[in-house]
Amino acid sequence: MIRKITFFLLIISLASCGSKKKTTYNKERKVSVAPSKTIIEKGNSPRSKRKAEEIAIERKADKIINSALAFSGTPYKFGGTTKRGMDCSGLLYVAFSENDISLPRVSYVMAEEGKEVRVKDVEKGDLLFFRTSKKRKRINHVGLVVATDNDEIKFIHASTSRGVIVSSLREGYWNYAFVKATRIL
């Protein structure tokens, strides 16, 4: 019996030896990892550079949108590029060129520019392309996205019946005629 008690005490003492560490707290902290060779200054991190680029693109998009909105109410004129008359591709051609970005003059050639984006990823400044003629199989209309509110996309374009207006992609006619969206900026 004494052997069992001695054995039991020995096991308890061995098990408890490493279980509690003595901790001390210094006011002075020591760093055990060497600093990186590259120094990232505040505001120059890759993340902040990306954010700055996004802000610049958004500002550029706002300027282009404002240029296009200045033509609101302008009557439709095939081939027009002035306040006296404007067509859909002429509207975007002028709005982008006023902001030092060159685009082709006609919508089906414009549709070949930029990077195609999914409708759910559309942002302000993107272009929307439509096929409004049943007879023709190519793109013949274009609009500029001015706002995205939840799942509604609003775009400015030159309508043959109402001139330069803002419409919604939710409208049955435009939703049915929609072909694709592209990002120029």
Residues with a catalytic annotation lie at: 88, 141, 157
Beta bridge partners of 159: 163
Which distant-in-sequence residues (6+ apart) come within 8 Å of 137 by Cβ?
Answer: 131
Which DSSP string corresponds to the chain? Answer: -HHHHHHHHHHHHHHHHTT-------SS----SPPPSS---TT-SHHHHHHHHHHHHHHHHHHHHHHHHTTTTPPB-TT-EETTEE-HHHHHHHHHHTTT----SSHHHHTTSSEEE-GGG--TT-EEEE---SS--S--EEEEEEEEETTEEEEEEEETTTEEEEEETTSHHHHHHEEEEEE--
